[in-house]
Structure 1
């Protein structure tokens, strides 16, 4: 971003929590609804995201009623069956295009990553211009985390064409077609964990529960 370009403002951003996967390594079911000692993973994610954004939706497939208590709009993948994170990003773009005409970008957040940065949205927005379609992706410890990204809604048609044409569902393959920036984040100050630590396997839940014993909630 040049010094003459204005950064994106967060009031133009819709949050999209990606919970549309099948959780095979966890044994199936909804990782976002698993109990972590009185709170679910989704409770923890919302506690981090709500102070950053006023407008949030959930990307999930199947019966949306199981998420009713969270009082969030639920958008299913618009292409394929469990087609991966890019389909979730498209779900967010599609919802924004139809329901939030003032929104220019979505921020995608993984539904199994409870310690992501409290500065995520602000820093991603600060890294891109408001008037050009630049994708911003988060990183930590020199590793990219493409599920945590800021996506211009104007790329909706391109992404839909990409997925419907059967091209790879790998996030970076799509990102490489456009201007993008990487935003690096430090370890979570309370837990000491990588801020993008995600609970993929049953053993990872123990790590999350242990970290919650000393992370303020």
Structure 2
């Protein structure tokens, strides 16, 4: 499903160059649960942005479902992000003026899906994260864990095959972290491919594969 070969991403800082990714090679099969762990500044988020088609590499190749990403136009990449990939971020990235169900509905509106189907899918997604009773609450009326549940519902409402989590438990207490990880395990059990970016070893160890990243270089660890 995901195949990166010798991928580098270089940033120019002053007169010098910094390798956010340095010839990174990574293969992830459909249906895997992989964690990518590393310290701050190691290149984790850059790697996720490339996997999620939010950024492009300076060199190397990235095949998503056997198709080179560079073959897609920006419009096509936007469609891939909206239909094939679900994103869950540490900061939730909810729109504060919209209710939980309105936040979850947004990706479906972008897809041009009709109102009746949108309503059905939103209800299904919120039920999967056990948030049906809070569907009409604003983010400010929800706890951090509940906001992250809304973010997960928004990520899965388009029925993506790949879910990318960028430190999705980073702002949560231990009990809420456990609840959110239970949801990720359930999504994995239902066939989703999960790639989880984290700095937390305990979170990383819940995946079936651990990939370490440091100074833009990847190394695999057996679980």
TM-score by length of 1: 0.28
Structure with the higher fraction of residues in strand conformation: 2
Structure number with greater Rg is 2
Structure with the higher fraction of residues in helix conformation: 2
